[in-house]
Amino acid sequence: MTIILKAQNINKKYGRTPILNGISLNVEEGQFIAIMGNSGAGKSTLLNCISGMDQPDSGKILLLDNELSRMSNRDLASFRAKNMGFIFQDFRLLEDMSLLDNLLVRGYLKQSKSDALKQANDLLDKVQLLNVKNHYPSQLSGGQKQRGAIARALMNNPEIVFADEPTGALNSAAGKQVMETLKFVNVELKTTVLMVTHDVRSASYCDQIIYLSDGKILGNLTLDYSKNISDINAFLSQKGW
C-alpha cells in the first residue's frame, strides 16, 4: 500500500500549554481513519496541523512527498485546494450560492468550466442531491447540506478528505446517511478519508480508529467485519474514554 500522508514528530503548543506531543502517523491510500479521544485531547488541532490549516511548532507533514512547511502561504493554499477536501461540522457552504455553484467554485480551481459542471452534476447525483442542485443552503436539511459539502470536497478529485465531526450537528438518521455517503466515497470512489469524531457509530464505518489522549497517540484499533460496536466501546474504555 502507498503511504500518501506522513506526519512525523508533530509538536504544537498554544501559549505554554502543550497540545500535541510528538505525534507521528502514516495514512495509506484508500484508508478511512477515525481520530477519537476525549474532549481537549487535541484531535481538531491534529487535523488542522496535518491538513495545513494550522502550523505545528515542529515536525514534518508530507502529502505525496510534498512537505507542507516548506511551501509559501500562497503555494500551500493552492496545494491544499487542489489536493485536499474538507468537511466541517457546520457544513460551511456559501449561503448566497446554489448548491451547484458551491461545487463549481471549487471545481474552477483546477478544471475547465464544462469539465467542472460535468463533475459537479455527477457528484450531486452520487450523493442523491441532483434534484435540489439549484436550492440555496438555507433550503436544505442538515443532512442534505452535509452530503452537499461531501460532494464539494470531492470536486477536483482530492488525494485526501479531512472531516471534522461530520455528523456532530445532525440527528441520528441524517448522521447515518452522511456516514453511508462517506463510506461510499471511501470504498466506491476510492478516496482516502481522515475523520475526527466523538461518535462511536460514525467511527464504526472506518477501517481504523486512532485514539488520542493529551496530544499523544495511545493506541489504534483496526476494524474489519469481525468487529462491532461493543469491540469499539471496549477499546475506547480501555484507553480512558
Ligand X SMILES: Nc1ncnc2c1ncn2[C@@H]1O[C@H](COP(=O)(O)OP(=O)(O)OP(=O)(O)O)[C@@H](O)[C@H]1O
Residues making contact with ligand X (CB under 6 A): 14, 19, 37, 39-45
222 vs 211: CA distance, rounded Å: 11
26 vs 7: CA distance, rounded Å: 6
CB-wise, 45 or 156, nearer to ligand X? 45
Q: Residue 181, Cα to own-chain centre: how many angstroms? A: 13
CB-wise, 98 or 208, nearer to ligand X? 208
Q: Going along the chain, which residue ranges are E strands?
A: 3-14, 17-28, 32-36, 58-63, 66-67, 84-88, 160-164, 192-196, 208-213, 216-222
Question: What's the closest the beta carbon of residue 35 comes to ligand X, in angstroms?
Answer: 8
Question: What's the closest the beta carbon of residue 71 comes to ligand X, in angstroms?
Answer: 22
Compute CA distances 45 → 59, 196, 218, 237, whole Å: 14, 10, 16, 23
CB-wise, 41 or 68, nearer to ligand X? 41
Q: Residue 52, Cα to own-chain centre: how many angstroms? A: 13
CB-wise, 20 or 178, nearer to ligand X? 20
Question: What's the closest the beta carbon of residue 24 comes to ligand X, in angstroms?
Answer: 17
Question: What's the closest the beta carbon of residue 203 comes to ligand X, in angstroms?
Answer: 13
Question: What's the closest the beta carbon of residue 161 comes to ligand X, in angstroms?
Answer: 18
CB-wise, 132 or 163, nearer to ligand X? 163
113 vs 125: CA distance, rounded Å: 18
Compute CA distances 64 → 13, 217, 220, whole Å: 26, 23, 23
